[in-house]
Amino acid sequence: MHPIKHIFISYSHKDNDIYIKLLRKQLSVLERNRSVRIWTDQDIRAGENWETKIHEAIEMADLSILMISANFFESEYIQEDELPAILEREKNTQLTLFPIILEPCSWHLASWLSEKQARPQNGKMICDADDQTQKKLFSEITNEINDILFSDTTNSTKSKPVIQTESQDAHCGAIVHLMCDRTDQVNAFRKSFLSQGNENPKKPQFYVIHGKERNGHLSLVKRLNFQIVYPFANKQLPDSKKRLPDILKPGWPEKDDKQDDVKIKMERLQETLFQAIFHQESFYYDDNFPAQYTLKDLIQSNPINACADHAVLIAHRIPAVHWDLDLANQYISDFLSCAEKLSNADEMPLMIVFFNIEYPNENPRSFKKKRSFFFRKKIDPRAKTTEIRYWGNSPDQACDYANVADQTAKTIFKNWDTHQCTDEFIYTAPVKSFLPNLFGLHDMLGNVWEWCADDFAEDAYSNHERNNPIYDEAGASFRVLRGGSWNGYPRSVRSAVRFWIEPSYCYSVVGARLLRK
């Protein structure tokens, strides 16, 4: 499954609407089969602030189709508001422009457009073609847009790991969460693995695989090894040294109330690593263990050095009840520290560590709500966060934390741009149905837009106090809303989004969040 791509269509309402209808009809194949979301201002719903929705859609867009005509250049809003925002994102390589010439106009006189390759080719225009030719032209345009969005060489601005470890040094790895769907797991692994590997082939990498016991986590690791790691590693080697990377299967310490010290559990974990490596047939060289069970000794041991030109996969089987985040953090920290201290990074192979978290087959639902809580990184709530949402950057993890426009709502509201997950609520949900943020507060995104104490003003941020600001403007007509709601699209359920409306406004998506002391 491809990552979701967003298309924003900019057009003038004065142009013949047959053009936009033909284009959307042809592009519908991408919506249904290629994880593409197409947006025009026709998607703005009653009661929504149209200007806010347009700018949110531009911010999410990977590609913007510009329907060029004399009316397009005449439109004051397009030229002074919409287009500058599009061109700014294009300038920062966050968006691709795709101009389509509808009707005769002096488009080549626009400096930002004159050097662009427009469609149709060879100076043709959509209006010159008969009905069948117009369908063919928009079909060809659809094929070209598909190639642009899903080319392997297309730069992605949304490929950052879900969670990073504390270290930011040269050898720093990242914890990447691969959720339960197998196709998504393979694609997410390929994207992250190749991105990190091409940047630094010796950088340790860490992955968490979530799923039920019967999902066969180890079989997935073998699949990832054969399909992705093996071809990548062989590009780094002369032909004479090609080999399938080894998979080690060390155990993970069980939870023990009497021995819950991280240091003790680390010693157990390191011992199982030694056993796995020195008793692995392909690694078997002698029975002389290093003097201590430390990761440093392990990484510098003869078996590991023998694989220095290749990759080693470590796959921990971990029943969910035995998962220990403190132990995992210590493990990763020690691993990275050892790798960084090597005098020569080429002395160690590419180390890929999998935490294979297994949920009980008989009661998967009880673990669903807890899933992200178990594997969430420990963060000081007072520290600044840089993620788009308080659970991270991915909109499709929303359903563990917020009541949003999801696949449940899609069963009724067929045309909604929804999150690719299921929160099991169509309309509002009871308080505390979802996981809290890092302050322990529930429903801070989703469910209903929250009335704020602030009056709305475009320049409020430059005028209010820095800490715990409340902006009060005499005679203000609008009050600020934040947080998104049960009908919130992915682009609107974000920490930074604010909406404004008259204080007298009443609707099922607007309300308040109560604090009980």
Q: The domain that contains 412 carries what CATH number?
A: 3.90.1580.10
Q: What is the structure's pLDDT at 381?
A: 40
Q: What average pLDDT does range 180-194 have in this prediction?
A: 72
The reply to whether 470 falls in a domain is yes
Q: The domain that contains 275 carries what CATH number?
A: 3.40.50
Average pLDDT, the chain: 77
Q: What is the structure's pLDDT at 445?
A: 92
Q: Choose one of 375, 401, 435: the last residue of a domain.
A: 375
Q: The domain that contains 74 carries what CATH number?
A: 3.40.50.10140
Q: What is the structure's pLDDT at 68?
A: 94
Residue range 87-146, pLDDT digits in tens: 988 887 778 999 999 998 888 888 888 778 889 877 789 998 888 899 999 999 998 898
| Same-domain status, 21 and 134 | yes
| Same-domain status, 17 and 101 | yes
| Same-domain status, 486 and 516 | yes
Q: What is the structure's pLDDT at 166?
A: 28
Q: What is the structure's pLDDT at 415?
A: 83
Q: What average pLDDT does range 235-256 have in this prediction?
A: 76
The reply to whether 384 falls in a domain is no
Q: Best-predicted range by mean pLDDT among 13-22, 188-197, 323-332, 458-467? A: 13-22
Residue range 2-12, pLDDT digits in tens: 567 889 999 99
SS3 147: helix
Q: What is the structure's pLDDT at 376?
A: 37
The strand ranges marked E within 360-460 are 449-455
Q: What average pLDDT does range 47-67 have in this prediction?
A: 89
Helices (H), 92-130: 111-114
Structure tokens, 193: 């693995």
The reply to whether 357 falls in a domain is yes
Give residue for tokens 């010290």: 261
Hey, which residues does 373 pair with through a beta bridge?
none
Q: What angle do CA 506, 509, 511 make, to 5 degrees?
A: 65
- pLDDT band at residue 281, thresholds of 50, 70 and 90? low
Residue 171 predicted with pLDDT over 60? no
C-alpha closest to that of 10 among 56, 65, 49, 53: 65
pTM strictly above 0.75: no
CA distances from 102 to 1, 84, 417 (A): 33, 21, 27
SS3 289: coil
Structure tokens, 132: 């069948």
Q: What is the structure's pLDDT at 341?
A: 67
The reply to whether 299 falls in a domain is yes
Type and span of the H or E element at 57: helix 50-60
The reply to whether 471 falls in a domain is yes
CB hemisphere CA count around 139 (13 angstroms):
6
| Same-domain status, 207 and 124 | no
The reply to whether 155 falls in a domain is no
What burial class does residue 92 get, using C-beta atoms within 10 Å of its C-beta: 0-12 exposed, 13-18 middle, 19+ buried?
exposed
Q: How far apart are the first and last CA of the chain?
A: 45
Pairing of strands 479-482, 498-501: antiparallel
Give residue for tokens 């590991």: 304
- pLDDT band at residue 289, thresholds of 50, 70 and 90? low
Q: Choose one of 127, 150, 173: the last residue of a domain.
A: 150
What is the rounded distance in angstroms from the CA atom of residue 456 to the CA atom of residue 460? Answer: 7
| Same-domain status, 144 and 234 | no
| Same-domain status, 319 and 431 | no
Residue 169 predicted with pLDDT over 60? no
| Same-domain status, 446 and 494 | yes
Angle of helix 83-91 relative to helix 50-60, nearest 10 degrees?
20
Residue 403 predicted with pLDDT over 80? yes
What is the share, in percent, of the chain residues with pLDDT greater than 90? 14
516 vs 209, residue with greater confidence? 209
- pLDDT band at residue 27, thresholds of 50, 70 and 90? very high
CA distances from 65 to 23, 29, 100, 131, 491 (A): 10, 16, 7, 21, 19
Q: Choose one of 90, 119, 150: the last residue of a domain.
A: 150
What is the rounded distance in angstroms from the CA atom of residue 425 to the CA atom of residue 487? Answer: 10
Which range marks the domain in which residue 66 is found? 5-150
Structure tokens, 281: 């047939």
Residue range 469-516, pLDDT digits in tens: 677 777 778 888 899 999 888 888 988 888 888 888 887 888 887 776
Q: What is the structure's pLDDT at 216?
A: 76
Give residue for tokens 């079989």: 219
Q: Are 511 and 450 in contact (CB under 8 A)?
A: yes
What is the rounded distance in angstroms from the CA atom of residue 490 to the CA atom of residue 421? Answer: 11
Q: Are 38 and 27 in contact (CB under 8 A)?
A: yes
| Same-domain status, 104 and 215 | no
| Same-domain status, 329 and 245 | yes
Cα 326 versus chain centre, distance: 25
Structure tokens, 500: 């404004």
The reply to whether 42 falls in a domain is yes
Q: What is the structure's pLDDT at 516?
A: 66
Q: What is the structure's pLDDT at 287?
A: 54
What burial class does residue 453 get, using C-beta atoms within 10 Å of its C-beta: 0-12 exposed, 13-18 middle, 19+ buried?
exposed
The reply to whether 312 falls in a domain is yes
Give residue for tokens 């099922």: 508
Residue 167 predicted with pLDDT over 50? no
| Same-domain status, 168 and 316 | yes
Type and span of the H or E element at 143: helix 131-150
What is the rounded distance in angstroms from the CA atom of residue 145 to the CA atom of residue 154? Answer: 12
| Same-domain status, 125 and 177 | no
Q: What is the structure's pLDDT at 23?
A: 93
| Same-domain status, 336 and 201 | yes
Residue 228 predicted with pLDDT over 60? yes
User: How many domains would you assign to the chain?
Assistant: 3
Residue range 356-394, pLDDT digits in tens: 888 776 544 444 444 433 333 333 343 455 678 877 777
SS3 128: helix
C-alpha closest to that of 160 among 180, 175, 181: 175
